[in-house]
Amino acid sequence: MICIYDKKTTKDNFNNNGLAVLDECIVAEVTEELNGEYSLYIEYPADSRKATHLVELNIIKANEQLFRIYKVERQQESTRRIKVWSRHIFYDLAFYFIESVNLVNANMKEAIEGTI
């Protein structure tokens, strides 16, 4: 089952159907390469009312894995499809960088706070 969630959904709120169940997918392909890409590509009918939820940054759950939408392309009138590209949610961490930190004589709480 493929579900879509709002971009602000927290980690404890993915145990329901979210905004909608995407049950009209024309194409749904997961690409998982060892030490490489982990992504989900979807084609969906543009005239479906559920298609309004297919926007950048929203989250898709497929096979219990979470993917963040990074690109949405509305197709020409002839095909009436929406193409959606998303990356696994762990790619969100790519935008966070922690410089080298060396804490001496710090407890766990101080160490965590020192890196934030």
Whether 116 has a pLDDT exceeding 70, the answer reads no
> Scanning the structure block, which residue is given the tokens 């297919």?
54
What are the domain boundaries of the chain? 2-115
**Mean pLDDT within 36-59:** 96
Record the tokens describing residue 53, joined without a space.
Answer: 């939820």
Residue 11 has pLDDT above 80, yes or no: yes
Write the CB contacts of 57 (distance below 8 Å, at least 6 apart in sequence).
Answer: 7, 68, 69, 70
73, 103 Cβ separation under 8 angstroms? no
Task: Provide the residue type at 86 as one letter.
Answer: S
Which tokens belong to 28?
């749904």
Contact 82, 43 (CB under 8 A): yes
Burial of 60 (0-12, 13-18, 19+ CB in 10 A): buried
Compute the half-sphere exposure of residue 4: CA atoms within 13 Å on the CB side of its CA.
23
**Is pLDDT of 100 > 90?**
no
What distance in Å separates the CA atoms of residue 62 and residue 112, rounded to the nearest whole number?
32
Fill in the amino acid letter for 73: E
Q: Each residue of 20-41: pLDDT tens digit?
A: 999 999 999 999 999 899 999 9
- Quote the mean pLDDT of the chain: 91
Tell me the pTM: 0.80
